[in-house]
Amino acid sequence: MKRVLMDIDTNLFRLALLENGEPVEFYVERKQTESLVGNVYAGRVETVVPNLQAAFVDIGTGKNGYLYYGNTRAASGVEKENRPKAGDTLVVQVEKDAVGTKGAVLTRNISFAGKFLALLPNEGGEIGVSRKITNEAERRRMQEIMEELLPSDCGAIVRTNGAGRSKEEFQKELESLLQKWQSVKQAEYRKAPALLWQENIPVLKAARDFYSADLDSVVVNDKETYELLAATGDFSREGQPKLELYEEKTPLFASFYAESKLEKALSQKVWLKSGGYLVIEETEACVVIDVNSAKAAGRGDLEKMILKTNLEAAEEAAKQMRLRNLSGIIIIDFIDMVQEESRNILTKTLKAAVEKDRVKTVVVGMTELGLMQVTRKKTKPSLLKQTTTNCRSCEGSGRVFSIDWTAAKMRRETKTIFAGTICRKVLVKADARLLQVYLSNGFAEEMARVYGGEVLTESVANAAFGEFEILRMETKHTQNL
């Protein structure tokens, strides 16, 4: 049983893909940060960096996008005619959303994705079939259909969902995708930067991305969204998923037991049935998954116990990568194993586990240090980044300075004011516990004796940990606490 839940709130769109009642993918999108992936722009080249074979392009979104114009990452002699110049107008498509301070990743290879096909304009003769379709007869059939239907200047890739589809279904979708391309061609001479084509609104885009032959139903808790999806015609015929409007009082995710599992998908620690656990840490450079034996340790043969825990961890790691949308470089630190055979079994198990993922995931293998290397295609931010924001106290590091470190910093700043200015009175605002450490060992008396300065304090209720403010005072209006 495969089901998609769409929870529509005022400013938030949440989606859960359930397989046999268990969530395997979560997706969250805030209206103020909607994904730009798939949008086509007329962009203006701002800067070209030849040694990176890259250009930074203004597409009108506030951050310049990154466009790689080389043929390959290792290309050394890129043809000059391929190199854009500052001021050029280019038609580009967003390949990956902006993350942090980095702008969106752009491409000049425009494509339009449907449920069964991906259209590749200006790539005549290029016809591909998803590698997940392994039946050779079916691959040849689809290849022949595409050769017959495609215009000479366009290419296409048949997606996994295209298996078993009729010529008429391919033709209908191809006509829709060609209309999108015609809309872009008619608008490409607009003054840059300009949006030429906006990808479908989130619910329609999600419905397309998760649409598959084995999808049983889509459940929506918003009537307007339900009617929008019903109008597509993708849920009305035999063999298509069922579209359901959820109208119960219990929240949609809670009704299908997905709410608590979403919260677990945001926690750092994941327990295994064997008693071991994973610790998942996302950083700017990569994702690290650490495997720990914990309660599983000390049970029988050590090598067998370690292999069993690692195999369970491999299955869970693959599940968590998909559930949390972890991407980029992923390093898994499994428990060390002595036997080469055990390491080979582990690698094979992980490769089999990631095949269930609809996002391209490659198990590269183990390093000399025994760290498993995995790459997963990056298109959208991880679930954690979709649902959280940087802490104002720790500035996104996940840690804050100790109370002693902070109090010492406050004392240094106070001394600097008294030693370097004519000010002789300061008001220090902070949490009561922080102020207590700040004033310890007679600090106020020391300031009066050494500098002739007066230190006043004011306790601030609900102040963030480590937050303080030191104000220079000209007149007396606050009493010591």
Report the pLDDT value the prediction gives residue 81, as an integer from 0 to 100: 56
Q: Would you give per-residue pLDDT tens digits along the chain (481 residues)?
A: 899 999 988 778 889 999 999 999 998 887 656 778 889 999 999 999 988 889 999 999 888 999 998 764 334 444 455 688 999 999 999 988 887 778 899 999 888 888 888 899 888 878 999 888 888 999 999 999 998 999 888 999 998 888 888 888 889 889 988 988 888 888 777 888 998 888 767 788 888 888 876 889 999 999 999 998 888 878 877 778 899 999 998 889 999 999 888 888 889 999 999 889 999 999 888 999 999 987 655 555 788 889 999 999 999 999 999 999 999 999 999 999 888 999 999 999 999 999 989 889 999 999 988 899 999 998 788 898 888 877 777 777 777 888 999 999 999 999 999 999 999 999 999 999 999 999 999 999 999 999 999 999 999 988 888 889 999 997 554 444 3
Q: What is the pLDDT of residues 61-111, one digit of tens each?
A: 888 999 998 764 334 444 455 688 999 999 999 988 887 778 899 999 888
Residue 272: CB atoms within 10 A of its CB come to 20
CATH class of the structural domain 403-472: alpha beta
Sheet holding 127-129, edge to edge: 112-113, 117-121, 154-158, 127-129
Report the pLDDT value the prediction gives residue 297, as an integer from 0 to 100: 56
3-state secondary structure of 326: coil
Distance, in Å, from the CA atom of 251 to the CA atom of 229, rounded to the nearest integer, reads 20
Q: Which CB contacts under 8 angstroms, 24+ apart, belong to 214-218?
A: 214/2, 215/2, 215/3, 215/4, 215/241, 216/1, 216/2, 216/3, 216/241, 216/242, 217/3, 217/4, 217/241, 217/242, 217/243, 217/244, 218/3, 218/4, 218/6, 218/242, 218/243, 218/244
State pTM to two decimals.
Answer: 0.70
Which of these CATH numbers, 3.30.930.10, 2.40.110.10, 2.40.50.140, 1.20.1070.10, describes 39-107? 2.40.50.140
The count of C-alpha atoms lying within 13 angstroms of the C-alpha of 251, restricted to the half-sphere facing its C-beta, is 10
Tokens 């000010």 -> residue: 423
- Work out whether strand 105-107 and strand 117-121 pair parallel, antiparallel, or are unpaired: unpaired
Distance, in Å, from the CA atom of 243 to the CA atom of 218, rounded to the nearest integer, reads 5
Report the pLDDT value the prediction gives residue 62, as an integer from 0 to 100: 85
Distance, in Å, from the CA atom of 71 to the CA atom of 107, rounded to the nearest integer, reads 12
Between the two ends of the chain, the Cα-to-Cα distance in Å is 65
Report the pLDDT value the prediction gives residue 9, as an integer from 0 to 100: 84
Distance, in Å, from the CA atom of 110 to the CA atom of 92, rounded to the nearest integer, reads 7
Cα separation values, 219 from 2, 25, 123, 323, 431, Å: 11, 15, 38, 19, 48
Cα separation values, 68 from 54, 119, 266, 371, 422, Å: 4, 21, 33, 30, 56
Q: Does domain 2-34+202-260 have CATH number 3.30.420?
A: yes
* Helix/strand/coil (H/E/C) assignment for every residue in 418-469: HHHCCCCEEEEEECHHHHHHHCHHHHHHHHHHHHCCEEEEEECCCCCCCCEE
Tokens 């259209």 -> residue: 119
Report the pLDDT value the prediction gives residue 77, as an integer from 0 to 100: 44
Distance, in Å, from the CA atom of 353 to the CA atom of 335, rounded to the nearest integer, reads 18
Report the pLDDT value the prediction gives residue 163, as an integer from 0 to 100: 84
Residue 390: CB atoms within 10 A of its CB come to 12
Q: What is the DSSP string of 200-220?
A: PPHHHHHHHHH--TT--EEEE
Report the pLDDT value the prediction gives residue 416, as an integer from 0 to 100: 93
Cα separation values, 433 from 415, 429, 457, 465, 470, Å: 21, 11, 12, 10, 16
Backbone dihedral region for residue 448 (phi beyond 0: left; psi -120 to 50: alpha; all else: beta) = alpha
Say which CATH topology domain 267-387 has: Aminopeptidase (3.40.630)
CATH class of the structural domain 110-193: alpha beta
Q: What is the pLDDT of residues 385-417, one digit of tens each?
A: 888 877 777 777 777 888 999 999 999 999 999
For the chain, what are the domain ranges?
A: 2-34+202-260, 39-107, 110-193, 267-387, 403-472
C-beta of residue 196 within 8 angstroms of C-beta of residue 204: no
What is the distance of C-alpha 57 from the center of its chain? 22
Sign of the dihedral through C-alpha 299, 304, 307, 313: negative
